[in-house]
Amino acid sequence: MTRKNEPVHPADGERLQKIIAAAGLASRRQVEVWIRDGRVTVNGRVVTQLGSRARIGTDTIRVDGRKLGSPEPPVSILLNKPRGYLSTCADPGKRPTVLDLVSGVKARLYPVGRLDFNSEGLLILTNDGELALRVTHPRNSCRKIYRVKVRGVPTTEALQRLRKGIVLDGKRTAPAGITIVHAENNTWLEVVLAEGRKNQIREMFKRVGFPVVKLKRIAIGPVGDRGLAPGAWRFLTAHEIRSLKGEAR
């Protein structure tokens, strides 16, 4: 008999987080949280172990009691997020989200990674769990490039601290690429990160005494689009998707 926390079908089937992400509900990382929280059942049994597997078409998988449907065809779009939108699927406070900017797409999309409410720039929305994992997981080192305006002119010492990494919330940030683009009363910089903690760039520059005035993401890995207007979106090309997944030839 399979106990509550034992993997289901350990020798066959697919991992639960991959199956659920492929159905378009959320990214694999978010699904892993659901599994740990006991929100997923397989054939009526709560499954909380991340190594658990199931068989599509044979096993009954439910999330929060709702039966999982067939996997959706993968859909991935690139959005130029304006300021004043949340990078979430819904907000209890009824603030606008990035999904409000996307119309005519039937697939259930979710944002990949973070851009805070007052930040702008490129954001991927997808139902492709594998793509989301490749873009967000630290081991894949998918670089994101930002244009950042800060108050004042940072010293060489301050920038060098950020390049090497500083401690935020008890953990050191990964080395960052930082280049001054233009400096006068305020300073524009190009910042390259291979990680994506919450409000990371704002917290980094705040820590060294130069608060961020404006922040815009201009590239995600090999994907950029300077001609995409704020609030506009387009489908990612097949080549862009392969490049993001590290499969480009």
Q: Which positions are catalytic?
A: 116
Give whole-number Cα distances, 247 to 56, 191, 238, 240, 243, in Å: 26, 26, 11, 10, 6
